[in-house]
């Protein structure tokens, strides 16, 4: 080991700063968002319509289709069809400038609707995964749209397309890309597109694979043509299958999973049901004929479902445990719903953007405004304070809503790991109000892992500490009220891992810092291993290029490969946490 710890510590501190820049943003990198549930944990995005108006920042034409929007690393991704050609679009999230497109021949194929692609791009690890309605799967470089690999799921693997074409988006699980294609899904290796597993070649449903953890295994729920099933993500093993036969075999909305419960719903006057999947018997808990979700899924919030209902062209609230309808508000057509900060972001079929409280007391609208015309079946997306939406004809808009009240900053998200059963992190919040005194400040835990207890040292101080004793992602909220009863809040995440090795493997950039802090951990024993690890996760071909990457990010030309190499050979005491 070389002895130059001062250089090492400087580099590590700099990289910690780098992570704070990289990870604060709340991206929406795939269909239904980062948690695959249609829920954003953003706050201060303008949900109080009484003090704001929708402001369309930019719009762009992206072609006919029903793909929703993915947002990652300052870029927006979607798909459309023009002149029998599918196009994947990458746009600047702030300006709407088209950065690149990828196109390929593809029939529009309207069939009782306008046609065009329905699957949303999935962004993961610097790649973009897309699927056409005819089964063309692409893996593209997120930076420039270069084709990394392509597969024709129908021609290459013999899977049968559903009546209205493939519609489910790709789901990425570690090194696998999983599609709702074939009987109960199929998986390709993300590296080169070779087949990992295939459950059969029968027609699938139209939903995207829905991930959940059960008995320390990652499982997926997939809607088939006439069934829904639980499949092991790593192997494709089907654990159970349950019949769900609907008119026209139109199993379209994603199921919703809550612990051992699975909620499914269908339109065409069919209805919805809740199933108990605690055992492989999968028993029905209730059936509700009046909740008929045709296309887009509901969201589950604090034990209640909020979602589109073709029975009355409504948005409906349903109690998950009983199936009881709490309220139903008509006038939305076949609309769609996203949820953020306890508010429903609704896009009606006619293009009205509506913000309403997720309340059991009834439909409580904060306000609405038309942002699109024509048919709008694609789900609106909230990312980094902006709302993105599109219509079937291909008009894509970016909307910004402004707010008043206390300006609250919960601070950067944190990656940490347990030592001796606990870990303590600094909460570096800040609260300011330009016109009124702040009267109340409060920290709270919004979304802890099951069984987790978080000890916040002083929950009424913006800057304090919190101690965690369970692994998992903890969402914390800093909330403030001023003298005029205006409210403000912000959220941050604390990701707690069992050890630094697990943290390194799950966090591409910040993981390297974790690995260096705890260099003797079994996951990275030598500096050569560290260099290889960096190359694999950042897709940098050699360590010299990694040094260039670090120097550019940190704006420090002194960070040469030799300096980093010398620094990396130092054994350091494990750090308690690193800010993202």
Tell me the pLDDT tens digit for each residue of 357-408. Answer: 999 888 988 888 899 999 999 999 999 999 999 999 999 999 988 666 788 8
Model confidence at 541, pLDDT cuts 50, 70, 90, reads low
Instruction: Classify the C-alpha dihedral 306-111-62-102 as positive or negative.
Output: positive
What's the CA angle centered on 91, arms 90 and 93, to 5 degrees?
130
Q: Residue 575: what pLDDT?
A: 32
Q: Residue 127: what pLDDT?
A: 97
Which residue's structure tokens are 């899904």?
185
Residue of higher predicted confidence among 122 and 451 = 122
CATH architecture of 419-497: Sandwich (2.60)
Residue of higher predicted confidence among 524 and 474 = 474
Domain map (residue ranges) of the chain = 5-23+499-579, 39-400, 419-497
400's enclosing H/E stretch is strand 395-400
Q: Residue 507: what pLDDT?
A: 56
pLDDT at 492 over 90: no
Q: Residue 545: what pLDDT?
A: 63
CA dihedral 324, 329, 330, 334 (to 10 degrees): -70
Collapsed DSSP state (helix, strand, coil) of residue 7: helix
Domain 39-400 shares a fold with domain 419-497? no
Alpha-carbon distance of 161 to 174, in angstroms, equals: 26
* Range name among 155-164, 262-271, 296-305, 387-396 with the lowest pLDDT average: 262-271
Residue of higher predicted confidence among 141 and 503 = 141
pLDDT tens digits along 240-253 = 999 999 888 889 99
Q: Residue 483: what pLDDT?
A: 86
Residues with Cβ within 8 Å of residue 363, at least 6 apart in sequence: 315, 327, 329, 356
pLDDT tens digits along 253-292 = 999 999 899 999 998 878 899 999 988 789 999 999 999 9
The distance of Cα 546 from the centroid of its chain, to the nearest Å, equals 28
Which of 81-90, 508-517, 539-548 tops mean pLDDT?
81-90
pLDDT at 539 over 90: no
The distance of Cα 201 from the centroid of its chain, to the nearest Å, equals 29
The answer to whether the CB of 180 falls within 8 A of the CB of 222 is yes
Take residue 66 and report the two structure tokens written for it.
Answer: 């029903």
Residues with Cβ within 8 Å of residue 201, at least 6 apart in sequence: 157, 158, 159, 160, 182, 183
Q: Residue 278: what pLDDT?
A: 87
pLDDT tens digits along 504-516 = 666 544 444 444 4
Average pLDDT in the chain = 84
Alpha-carbon distance of 514 to 389, in angstroms, equals: 38
The answer to whether the CB of 169 falls within 8 A of the CB of 119 is yes
What does each C-alpha distance from 510 to 21, 416, 517, 519, 532 come to in angstroms?
Answer: 11, 10, 11, 14, 16
CA dihedral 105, 73, 67, 82 (to 10 degrees): -40
User: Does CATH number 3.40.50.300 belong to domain 39-400?
Assistant: no
Q: Residue 32: what pLDDT?
A: 96
Alpha-carbon distance of 475 to 462, in angstroms, equals: 16
């Amino acid at each position: 080991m070389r002895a130059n710890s001062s250089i090492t510590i400087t580099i590590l501190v700099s990289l910690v700063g780098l992570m704070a820049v990289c990870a604060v943003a709340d991206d929406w990198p795939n269909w239904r968002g980062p948690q695959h549930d249609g829920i954003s944990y953003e706050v201060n995005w303008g949900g109080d319509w009484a003090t704001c108006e929708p402001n369309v920042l930019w719009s762009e034409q992206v072609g006919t289709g029903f793909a929703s929007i993915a947002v990652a690393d300052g870029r927006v991704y979607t798909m459309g069809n023009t002149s029998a050609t599918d196009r994947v679009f990458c746009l600047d999230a702030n300006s709407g400038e088209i950065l690149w497109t990828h196109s390929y021949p593809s029939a529009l194929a309207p069939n009782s609707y306008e046609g065009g692609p329905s699957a949303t791009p999935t962004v993961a690890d610097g790649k973009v995964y897309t699927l056409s309605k005819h089964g063309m799967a692409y893996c593209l470089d997120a930076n420039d749209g270069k084709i990394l690999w392509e597969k024709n799921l129908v021609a290459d693997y013999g899977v049968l397309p559903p009546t209205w074409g493939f519609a489910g988006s790709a789901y990425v699980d570690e090194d696998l890309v999983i599609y709702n294609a074939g009987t109960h899904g199929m998986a390709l290796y993300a590296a080169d597109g070779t087949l990992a597993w295939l459950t059969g070649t029968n027609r699938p449903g139209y939903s995207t694979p829905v991930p959940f953890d059960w008995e320390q295994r990652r499982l997926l729920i997939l809607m088939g043509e006439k069934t829904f099933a639980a499949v092991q993500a790593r192997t494709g093993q089907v654990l159970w299958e349950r019949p769900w036969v609907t008119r026209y075999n139109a199993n379209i909305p994603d199921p919703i999973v809550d612990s051992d419960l699975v909620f499914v719903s269908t339109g065409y006057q069919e209805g919805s049901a809740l199933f108990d999947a605690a055992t492989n018997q999968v028993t029905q808990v209730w059936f509700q004929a009046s909740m008929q979700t045709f296309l887009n899924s509901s969201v589950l919030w604090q034990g209640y479902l909020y979602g589109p209902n073709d029975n009355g062209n409504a948005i409906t609230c349903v109690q998950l445990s009983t199936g009881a309808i709490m309220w139903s508000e008509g006038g939305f057509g076949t609309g769609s719903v996203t949820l953020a900060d306890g508010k429903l972001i609704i896009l009606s079929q006619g293009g009205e953007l509506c913000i309403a409280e997720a309340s059991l007391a009834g439909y409580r609208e904060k306000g609405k405004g038309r942002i699109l015309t024509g048919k709008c079946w694609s789900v609106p997306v909230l990312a980094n304070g902006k709302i993105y939406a599109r219509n079937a004809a291909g008009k894509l808009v970016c909307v910004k809503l402004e707010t008043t009240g206390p300006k609250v900053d919960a601070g950067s998200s944190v990656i940490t790991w347990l030592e001796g059963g606990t870990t303590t992190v600094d909460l570096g919040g800040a609260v300011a109000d330009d016109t009124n005194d702040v009267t109340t400040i409060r920290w709270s835990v919004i979304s802890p892992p099951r069984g987790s207890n978080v000890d916040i040292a002083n929950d009424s101080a913006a800057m304090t500490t919190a101690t965690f004793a369970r692994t998992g992602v903890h969402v914390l909220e800093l909330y403030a009220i001023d003298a005029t009863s205006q409210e403000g809040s912000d959220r941050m995440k604390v990701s707690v891992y069992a050890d630094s090795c697990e943290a390194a493997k799950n966090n591409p950039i910040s993981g390297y810092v974790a690995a260096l802090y705890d260099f003797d951990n079994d996951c990275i024993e030598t500096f050569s291993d560290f260099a290889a690890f960096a190359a694999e996760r950042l897709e940098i071909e050699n360590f010299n290029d990694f040094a260039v990457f670090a120097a550019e990010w940190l704006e420090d030309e002194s960070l040469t490969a030799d300096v980093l190499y010398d620094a990396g050979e130092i054994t350091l005491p494990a750090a308690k946490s690193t800010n993202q």
